[in-house]
Homo-oligomer: A and B are copies of this chain.
Amino acid sequence: MNEAARYSLYPMHKLRRVDNPTVRIFADIEQVREDENGYNRAVRGDFGSVVQRERARFCSKYPLGAVLRGFGSKLAPLMEGEPAKQRAPIPASPGVMSEHIKRVGYFLRADMVGICRVPPYAVYGHDSHGREIDLKHKYAILVVIDQDYDTMHRSSGSDWISGSQSHLGYSFAAVTACMISDYIRRLGYPARAHYARDYQVLIPPLLLWAGIGEHCRMGDSVLNPFLGARFKAAAVTTDLPLEPDRPIDFGLQSFCDQCGRCAEECPSKAIPMGGKTIYNGREVWKLDEERCTRFRLTNQRGSSCGRCIKVCPWNKPHGPLHSAARFVARTAPALDGLMVKMDKVFYPEKKNPAPWWFDLEERDGALVVPRSSGAVWAEPGS
């Protein structure tokens, strides 16, 4: 673990490191196609015309969401490019360069930075337009941005600020990732930034291997012991020789097994209540992607949804109380059930403070106060 990690607010360097992610991964994971994910199926009309129509506006129907959703496209010129013709006179040691690149990431205001090798299954076979992807970069640098605890605390997770919370993370992770990729190219090595809406890689497996978190019940998500799932990440892939981090084990598999709070509270019932299943070579809690996508896209009482992130007991402010809770989760899995009950007592949702944002919705080119009645979302078959 690199010294540079100490510049994070969060002591990632103190976590237990393991050789393999805590979710079982079998050898034969197949590459997936980006054009087959929920968002792209929604664009094509696979989930019907209401979902297809709402896909274009589900985040940008809220004005701050529109700001953040539009932001990433401005960074496109920084995403990829030719590396400098001559390599810079920098140290040859992958360990030294890993430390340096992480410290650059913290300088560029990342909340966490991790590094891994890119496993072949983490590269999309085809992009969102169905074009074959040929990405051979060996390493990935993961840039993590917190979605803001106070805002999450004030929100239900599925109200009008929700899409903006996601895109806050996406946008700032994109800024730092684009800057890092530009920097590495200037040092004479190939590098490409991957961020919201233009990925050639899947972020969750890279987060697992870079030791940012463990796989959790919420579906194909990775949960960090300090931020919960309240973050977004971008990646930079590169051939600059780097020393990878190792996966972490903080006791989450047992905890999620006994908790299930996200599944209970999911407005679309997309998260499974029971145990894991084997899916494409991995033993995971398998999300019902259609229900989740439908709810987020057609939610009429808010913009998108992150209710699972909000209610998760790991979504907490950083401090000594939660350091103690993390210690118990790691060392005494028998107490996980008790911890889940204590969480409900200490963090009753009805005491949430007032929101700082205004409920607004774009309708026919103007912002209006949203209708709070009517159908909540376009359920399957509707």
Interface residues of A in 43-101 (CB under 8 A from B): 63-64, 66-68, 70-71, 74-75, 77-78, 84-86, 88-91, 99-100
Interface centre among A71, A85, A186, A360 (most CB of B within 10 A): A186
Partner of A168, one of B107, B164, B367: B107
Interface residues of A in 179-194 (CB under 8 A from B): 179, 182-183, 186-188
Question: CA A66 – CA B88 in complex, angstroms?
Answer: 14
Question: CA A148 – CA B103 in complex, angstroms?
Answer: 11
Flag if A63 contacts B366 (CB, 8 Å): no
Tell me which residues across on chain B come within 8 A of A164, comparing CB atoms: 107
Tell me which residues across on chain B come within 8 A of A168, comparing CB atoms: 107-109
Question: Given A4-B356, A100-B356, do A369 and B183 touch, yes or no (CB 8 Å)?
Answer: no
- Please count how many residues in chain A sit with their CB below 8 Å of the partner chain's CB atoms: 50
Asked if A288 is an interface residue, CB under 8 A from chain B, the answer is no
A68 to chain B, nearest CB (A): 7
Flag if A186 contacts B67 (CB, 8 Å): yes
Asked if A358 is an interface residue, CB under 8 A from chain B, the answer is yes
Question: Given A74-B78, A86-B367, do A104 and B183 touch, yes or no (CB 8 Å)?
Answer: no
Partner of A358, one of B63, B90, B171, B356: B90
Asked if A199 is an interface residue, CB under 8 A from chain B, the answer is no
A88 to chain B, nearest CB (A): 4
Flag if A86 contacts B366 (CB, 8 Å): yes
Asked if A264 is an interface residue, CB under 8 A from chain B, the answer is no
A97 to chain B, nearest CB (A): 10
Interface residues of A in 325-342 (CB under 8 A from B): none
Asked if A121 is an interface residue, CB under 8 A from chain B, the answer is no
Flag if B151 contacts A63 (CB, 8 Å): no
Flag if B67 contacts A179 (CB, 8 Å): yes
Question: Given A88-B360, A168-B108, A366-B84, do A74 and B74 touch, yes or no (CB 8 Å)?
Answer: yes
Tell me which residues across on chain B come within 8 A of A91, comparing CB atoms: 358
For A356, the closest partner residue in chain B by CB is B103
Number of copies: 2
Question: CA A332 – CA B305 in complex, angstroms?
Answer: 53
Asked if A175 is an interface residue, CB under 8 A from chain B, the answer is yes
Flag if B186 contacts A71 (CB, 8 Å): no
> Could you give, for residues 132-165 of chain A, a 1 whenever the CB lies within 8 Å of some chain B CB and a 0 otherwise?
0000000000000000101100000000000010
Tell me which residues across on chain B come within 8 A of A356, comparing CB atoms: 4, 99-100, 103-104, 107
Flag if B172 contacts A63 (CB, 8 Å): no
Asked if A10 is an interface residue, CB under 8 A from chain B, the answer is no
Tell me which residues across on chain B come within 8 A of A88, comparing CB atoms: 63, 358, 360, 367
Tell me which residues across on chain B come within 8 A of A29, comparing CB atoms: none
Question: CA A151 – CA B104 in complex, angstroms?
Answer: 10
Flag if B182 contacts A70 (CB, 8 Å): yes
Question: CA A56 – CA B68 in complex, angstroms?
Answer: 32
Question: CA A271 – CA B181 in complex, angstroms?
Answer: 38
Question: CA A124 – CA B368 in complex, angstroms?
Answer: 37
Question: CA A376 – CA B176 in complex, angstroms?
Answer: 33
Tell me which residues across on chain B come within 8 A of A357, comparing CB atoms: 100, 103-104
Can you report 12 residue pairs joining A to B where beta carbons are below 8 Å apart?
Answer: A7-B150, A63-B186, A68-B179, A74-B74, A85-B365, A85-B366, A89-B367, A89-B368, A89-B369, A100-B356, A100-B358, A171-B179
Chain A interface residues (CB < 8 Å from chain B): 4, 7, 63-64, 66-68, 70-71, 74-75, 77-78, 84-86, 88-91, 99-100, 103-104, 107-109, 148, 150-151, 164, 168, 171-172, 175, 179, 182-183, 186-188, 356-358, 360, 365-369
